[in-house]
Structure 1
Amino acid sequence: MQAETRPAATRRIELLDILRGVALLAMAVYHFTWDLEFFGYVARGLAEQGGWRLFARAIASSFLFLVGIGLVLAHGRGIRWRSFVRRLAQVAAGAGIITLATYLATPQGFVFFGILHQIAIASVLGLVALRLPFIATFALGIAVVMLPQLVQTDLTNPIWLAWIGLSAQAPMSNDFVPVFPWTGAVLVGIAFSQAANRFGLWSRLASWNERLSRLQPLARLGRHSLLFYLVHQPLLFGLVYLASMVAPPDQTAAFAESCRATCTESRDASYCERYCGCVQDDLSERDLLTKYLTNRLDEAGRTQIGESVTMCSFRSEP
């Protein structure tokens, strides 16, 4: 998931590989939680709320920040086109595999522009910033991060334009990392690496390599980040699937817990008890509860859920 990180005249900086390895393990933890949610072992929406949401964003930001650092270390003294194109092709191929696999597995939320897509396009866009002063690169990165907060338009709502990141309505996708604001993290990483070059930080960090020898397993993991990214989620997903065959989760309990947690943010507990019970019973009668909990709803099913929510909202009033 990372451009090469060793210019011709510089030793590899083990700390960067270690940090990438830590980010990969954190990503695996998050994806395992997502898998548990998908199969109904934890409350629906858990992986997209509160601390878990912040955790996911921190992981994505760290990967993209490291991509920016790697671009400078690998190509800051001149773009090595053969190496760059080879790595870009690998990342783009990985992105294509993710899109195809998720379309087959979860077509209603397939990944059309996830972290690998973002890394591929940001690696190309980031080349423009390699010759800028680090302060200018940093300012550009902050501007890219802030733009979606200031500009939103329905013109980019269609899926073929949503990757830009300025849509008024976010698309349905299990992993969405658009150009705005996420390319900003790459630019900030480039700025950091440019500043580190200027002030001699990288040579000092390279001198730590021997002291970090005990963390070699993490460093080796970080050096094979693309392979790990492509392999880990199918393995985790498969393990949770097998577990669901042996010990199926109590999906109705997970639904009730998730419903009450969401409802009590705006209504009192007694109303939420009535409302969630009504929705659960109605969805069970319509044979929609399991489909909802396993993300297998079609458009007609989503319409029926809307009808159920509206009906139960009225019925649950005192």
Structure 2
Amino acid sequence: MQISPVFEPTKRSAFLDVYRGFAVLLMMIFHFCWDLRNFGFMEFSIYDPFWVYFRSLILTLFLTAVGWSAYIVSNQSSKPFTWKRDIKLLISAGAISLATYLAMPNQWIYFGILHFILVASLLVRPVAKWPIACAVLGILIIMIYHLTPWLHFPNAFSTITHYVPLPDRTLDIVFPFPWIGVVFIGPLLGYLNWHQCPTPNHTVTRVLAFMGRYALPIYLSHQIILFGLVAAFKMVLLQFF
């Protein structure tokens, strides 16, 4: 079995790409199940513990990867133009908001995962070079959120939607707490050199690594494809049954 810690020639971390690609795969499974539910092929509540934890796992993988990547960038001698990535995220988040507003104006996405990743990237970047302190802060945020009511702000959402013309329901929303704490834990994974872990070079890891490298375009396009396929299958069934 060949071992490839990094893919040439870009010197990207194969392990980090596979890690992020696994998150993309889980996201696609989650959205595919949502599509099946939407067209009546499955019955479940997205508030059931399984689906709540499944979504939390996906968010955890994506958001730790954000902090992890920030740490790697902070330790590179020649810093890449991160503002280009920020602009791509900004445009992509805007496109998601516009598309969902046109398709479902009563549930459009105004602060989903892409919006949060953009904000979180800007927040974690200046502190990623201190991974231990950053991780301690992240753990404290998560502990305070789960052990006390201090970071819950139960009336914040209703207050914002009362004064700002936003829908009461949205297809996707990521609240700042506790998820910014998860982002702040990410640099610790970089400090521990997880991105240098040997990665088996076989079909599964190559596919996952590809998905990790192109996570943003896959995110933007996968639901259109999945939703269209399930909708087409439903129409075919209605024609014959």
- Verify same fold: TM over 0.5: yes
Distance 1:173 1:147, change over 3 A: farther
Question: RCO (CA 8 Å, sep 6+): is it higher in 1 or 2?
Answer: 2
Question: Would you say the 8 A contact 1:138–1:188 is kept in 2?
Answer: yes
Give the secondary-structure state (helix, strand or coil) at the position aligned to 1:142.
Answer: helix
User: In 2, distance between residues paired with 1:239 and 1:83?
Assistant: 37
Number of the residue aligned with 1:67: 66
Listed as ranges, the gaps of 5+ residues in structure 2 are: 1-5
Number of the residue aligned with 2:16: 16
Residue 42 of structure 1 and its aligned partner are, at CA, apart by: 2.0
Q: Spell out, residue by residue over 1:255-303, the C-alpha distance to the aligned partner (whole angstroms, 9 max, x if none).
A: xxxxxxxxxxxxxxxxxxxxxxxxxxxxxxxxxxxxxxxxxxxxxxxxx
Residue 213 of structure 1 and its aligned partner are, at CA, apart by: 4.3
Number of the residue aligned with 1:96: 94
User: In 1, distance between residues paired with 2:207 and 2:55?
Assistant: 23
Matched, 1:219 2:209: yes
Number of the residue aligned with 2:109: 111
* Aligned residue identity for 2:213: R
The structure 2 residue matched to 1:243, chosen from 226, 233, 237, is: 233
Distance 1:216 1:153, change over 3 A: closer
* Percent identical: 34
* Aligned residue identity for 1:136: A
Distance 1:90 1:13, change over 3 A: same
Listed as ranges, the gaps of 5+ residues in structure 1 are: 1-5, 163-169, 249-318
Distance 1:153 1:30, change over 3 A: closer
Number of the residue aligned with 2:3: none
Distance 1:122 1:236, change over 3 A: same
User: In 2, distance between residues paired with 1:185 and 1:32?
Assistant: 25
User: In 2, distance between residues paired with 1:111 and 1:156?
Assistant: 14
Distance 1:113 1:148, change over 3 A: farther
Question: Would you say the 8 A contact 2:161–2:168 is kept in 1?
Answer: no
Number of the residue aligned with 2:122: 124
Distance 1:175 1:155, change over 3 A: closer
Residue 243 of structure 1 and its aligned partner are, at CA, apart by: 2.1
User: In 2, distance between residues paired with 1:221 and 1:131?
Assistant: 27
Residue 41 of structure 1 and its aligned partner are, at CA, apart by: 2.4
Give the secondary-structure state (helix, strand or coil) at the position aligned to 1:108.
Answer: coil
The structure 2 residue matched to 1:229, chosen from 211, 214, 219, is: 219
* Aligned residue identity for 1:112: Y
Number of the residue aligned with 2:158: 157
Distance 1:49 1:155, change over 3 A: closer
Larger radius of gyration: 1
Number of the residue aligned with 1:83: 81
Question: Would you say the 8 A contact 2:14–2:195 is kept in 1?
Answer: no
Number of the residue aligned with 1:277: none
User: In 2, distance between residues paired with 1:87 and 1:160?
Assistant: 30
Distance 1:146 1:42, change over 3 A: same
Distance 1:190 1:176, change over 3 A: same
Residue 212 of structure 1 and its aligned partner are, at CA, apart by: 2.5
User: In 1, distance between residues paired with 2:95 and 2:23?
Assistant: 21
Distance 1:28 1:242, change over 3 A: same
Number of the residue aligned with 2:179: 182
Distance 1:188 1:114, change over 3 A: same
Residue 50 of structure 1 and its aligned partner are, at CA, apart by: 2.2
Give the secondary-structure state (helix, strand or coil) at the position aligned to 2:110.
Answer: coil
Residue 156 of structure 1 and its aligned partner are, at CA, apart by: 4.8
Structure with greater proportional helix content = 1
Residue 127 of structure 1 and its aligned partner are, at CA, apart by: 1.6
Give the secondary-structure state (helix, strand or coil) at the position aligned to 2:115.
Answer: helix
